[in-house]
């Protein structure tokens, strides 16, 4: 019986660790293609965010760059970016 309690405690401890990643919320009435590049990473990923839509967990690195046409910002992995008026707002 004590093994069951030990296993349950381990599952709770492992499951309670929070995962941090940057969230992007689009408050405009038009969709955007957001380019994301993590620190030290050569590849760039593109994510489509619909009008008044959102995407969670886009970047788990310490710092990332986010770009939409005409605007670019840097954010950390605990960040929350909003797109408002065609620009990022932190």
Please give the model's pTM, rounded to 2 decimal places: 0.73
CB count within 10 Å of CB 84 equals 12
Q: Which domains does the chain have, with CATH numbers?
A: 19-89 (2.60.40.2890)
Tokens of 80: 């929350």
Q: Tens digit of pLDDT for each residue in 12-68? A: 544 444 557 899 999 999 999 999 998 877 789 999 999 999 999 988 888 899 999
CA distances from 79 to 20, 29, 82 (A): 9, 22, 10
């Amino acid at each position: 019986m004590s093994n069951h309690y030990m296993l349950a405690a381990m599952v709770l401890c492992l499951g309670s660790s929070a995962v941090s990643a940057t969230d992007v919320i689009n408050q405009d009435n038009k969709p955007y293609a957001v380019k994301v590049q993590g620190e030290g990473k050569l590849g760039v990923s593109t994510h489509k965010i619909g009008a008044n839509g959102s995407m969670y967990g886009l970047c788990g690195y310490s710092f990332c760059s986010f770009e939409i046409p005409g605007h670019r910002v840097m954010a950390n992995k605990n960040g929350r970016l909003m797109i408002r008026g065609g620009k990022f707002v932190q």
